[in-house]
Amino acid sequence: MADASVKISRLAEVSPEAELGEGVVIGPFCVVEDGARIGARTRLRSHVVVGGFAEIGEDNIVFPHTTIGLEPQDLKFVGEESRLVLGHRNIIREGVTLHRGTEGGGGITTIADDNLFMTGAHVAHDCHVGSKNIFANNATLAGHVEVGSGCTIGAFSAVHQFCRVGDHAFMGGFTVATLDVLPFMKTVGARETKSYGVNAIGLRRKGFPAEVVDGLTKAHRILYQSGLLKDEALQRVEDELGQIAEVAYLIRFIRESPRGAHRG
């Protein structure tokens, strides 16, 4: 079950079938079910429930009243075996819910490294989340959502099932995304959700060079202010700015979008 460096509160309930890495700390009133795997130095503060199909990496901090890897909120789910895999160094604040996958969605929910989930955030079944994202209070992903890396999902925002959120996207608070959210851009709106251009301040803070920010700004202007049809605008952006890796990713993201993306 665990080595001598593991600390388990006498008020916690931890299955002997769970696997606990070196230095794991399990606080009072936590429940860790059969088959759960928790990596080294991860800390469950208190009142945390870890399902038996959850795999948690190293150096995570999980705050009270969070659930990780419990059954999905999907009426098609009938108890089949599925998983949730959480990476390393994530901070998961109070009341967060991270659900495992379903057979129809590939059977797995994945969350990578260095993410911050603020109070009440929710990641539904079969989602795939990258690294270094910030989910503000009560940010919500429906099932089958893909989130890239470096994104900010604003407070009380919601992403519709099967949508994608591109790398370094910024979603303002209370945004309802029913289409894909463009990478590098600011997308805001409760019902008339729109892309409001490049998140220039955020990208500069992350160290993106000026030529990349300028290229993305020009690309957005061509795509949404030139009056060209979608395919014509994408081709012009590719011809004029496609040598910039971030612009090339933006073009690819739009072309591969099954639902379409929120426009300006």
The catalytic residue positions are: 125-126, 143
Residue 220 φ/ψ, nearest 5 degrees: -60, -40
Contacts of 179 (CB under 8 A, 6+ apart): 160, 163, 193, 257, 259, 260, 261, 262
| Contact in structure between 26 and 14 (CB atoms under 8 Å) | yes
Residue 254 φ/ψ, nearest 5 degrees: -70, -45
Residue 22 φ/ψ, nearest 5 degrees: -60, 130
| Contact in structure between 138 and 121 (CB atoms under 8 Å) | yes
**Strand 185-188 relative to strand 194-198, pairing:** antiparallel
Residue 103 carries which DSSP code? G
Q: How many CA atoms lie within 13 A of 9 on its CB side?
A: 17
* Residues 37, 51: Cα–Cα separation, whole Å: 9
Q: Tokens 């388990």: give the residue.
A: 8
Query: How many other C-beta atoms lie within 10 A of the C-beta of residue 201?
Result: 11
For residue 247, the surrounding DSSP H or E stretch is helix 245-255
